[in-house]
Homo-oligomer: A and B are copies of this chain.
Amino acid sequence: MAHDIRIVTEAELRQVVALDLTVVDIVAQAFAALGQGSVVMPPILSMELAEANGEVDVKTAYIPGFDSFAIKVSPGFFDNPKLGLPSLNGLMILFSAKTGLVEAVFLDNGYLTDMRTAAAGAVAARHLAPQRVQVAGVLGTGVQARLQMQAAHLVRPFERLLVWGRDATKAEACAADLAADLSVDARAVADAEEVVAESQLVVTTTPARTPVIRAEWLHPRLHITAMGADQAGKNEIDPKALAACDLYVCDSVRQCEVSGELEAALAHRLWSKPTPPELGQIINGTAEGRSGEEAVTICDLTGTGAQDTAIASHVRTILGAAGTTIRA
C-alpha cells in the first residue's frame, strides 16, 4: 500500500518555480475552468485563534482534467514579527484526483501562494487591461507589490512604474527593486492619486480596511486589479467605483461577496447591477470583456483554491528530482 510522497521545501521550490508565462498560463487555465462552472470549490475553511492573534485558512478545488488537487493551509499569525518570524506561512498538499493518495507536500511557507496570486494579476491584466500600457502603478510596497508588477510586465511590458505606500522609505525600496528587476523607470510617489492618474494599469496590494483608491480618480483607459482584500472587512477601492466603472469582474463572485471589494459595495447598497462576471467567463468569451481602449475596468481578486490546485499540479510536473522522497 505504501507509496512515494515528495516533500519539497521553500528553498527547493524557489529553485524550481519562477514567476513566468508558464505559471500565468496554468493559472489562466484554472480561471477558465472556474468560468465554465466545472470546478468544485468548497467555501474556504477559516479558523481564528484570537489568543495568538492568529488565523488559518484552508482552500481547495478540484479542476476537471487535472490529475491532482491541492489543499492549501495558510496560517497568518500577526504577532510573529515580534518573534522575528514572518506572519504568513503554510503549505500545500497535492493529492491524486483519482485515488486521493498524497502525492506531494510543498512546505512553501506561502511561496507558491505568492506565485499563483501574482499570476492571477497577470491573467487579469492580460484579459482586462488596455492593450497599450505605458505606465503601471502599484499601491503597497510588500512582496506582492513587487510580484504583481513583475507579473503585469510579462503581459503588458510597460515603460514606467509608480509606487505608492504609506511608508515612503519602503516605497522607495520597492521602486528601486522593480527598476532593477524590470529595467523600467520606476519611482515612488507621495500620493496614491498620482499613481492612478498617470497609470493605465494599477494593482492594489494593501491590507486596507478603508479605501486607498477613490471613485473620483477613475479615468478613461484604466484597469485596476485589487488583490489585497481577502477577508471580510478589507476594502481597497471606494465602493462607488465598482458601479461607476465600465466593467467590474470577480475572480469568484461567491468569494468577492463576502471577502472582496464587492462586500463593501453590497454592504453600502452601492451595487445594484446584475451579478458581476467572473474572470474565467471573460477568458472563455462567455461574458463581455473590456469594451475598448478607453474603458475603465476593475478586477477583484480574493484568491481561489483553483489557483492553488493549478500551481501545485504544475510544480509537481517540473520538480525533477527536487525534494525528499518519503515512502508512506
Contacts and interface: CB of A to CB of B under 8 A. Distances in A.
Interface of A: 1-2, 5, 7, 9-11, 40-49, 51-52, 54, 56, 58, 60-62, 64, 69, 71, 73, 75-77, 80, 83, 85-86, 89-91, 93, 95, 97-102, 105, 107, 109, 324, 326-328
Given A40-B49, A42-B47, A328-B9, A98 B77 contact: yes
Contacts of A51: 64
Contact of A100 (B58, B60, B71, B75): B75
Contacts of A109: 1, 328
A7, A9, A327, A328: residue with the most chain B Cβ atoms closer than 10 Å: A328
Nearest to A5: B107
Given A54-B100, A89-B101, A102-B91, A326 B45 contact: no
Contact of A107 (B43, B89, B95, B102): B102
Contacts of A77: 98-100
B324 A324 contact: yes
Contact of A324 (B2, B54, B107, B326): B326
A73 B71 contact: yes
Contact of A45 (B5, B7, B58, B100): B58
Nearest 8 pairs of A and B residues by beta carbon = A75-B100, A107-B328, A9-B328, A45-B45, A77-B100, A42-B47, A49-B62, A77-B99
Contact of A80 (B45, B99, B107): B99
Given A52-B99, A56-B95, A58-B71, 14 more contacts: A1-B86, A9-B327, A40-B49, A41-B47, A45-B45, A47-B60, A51-B64, A52-B100, A54-B99, A58-B58, A71-B73, A80-B99, A83-B99, A89-B101
A130 B44 CA distance: 42
7 contacts: A7-B7, A9-B326, A9-B328, A51-B64, A58-B60, A89-B102, A109-B328
- Tallying the copies of this chain within the complex gives 2
B97 A52 contact: yes
Contacts of A97: 49, 52, 54
A47 B75 contact: no
Contacts of A86: 1
Nearest to A51: B64
A7 B100 contact: no
B69 A45 contact: no
A85 B100 CA distance: 10
A69 B91 contact: no
A83 B3 CA distance: 13
A25 to B, nearest CB: 24
Contact of A11 (B2, B56, B85, B102): B2
Contact of A89 (B9, B83, B89, B100): B100
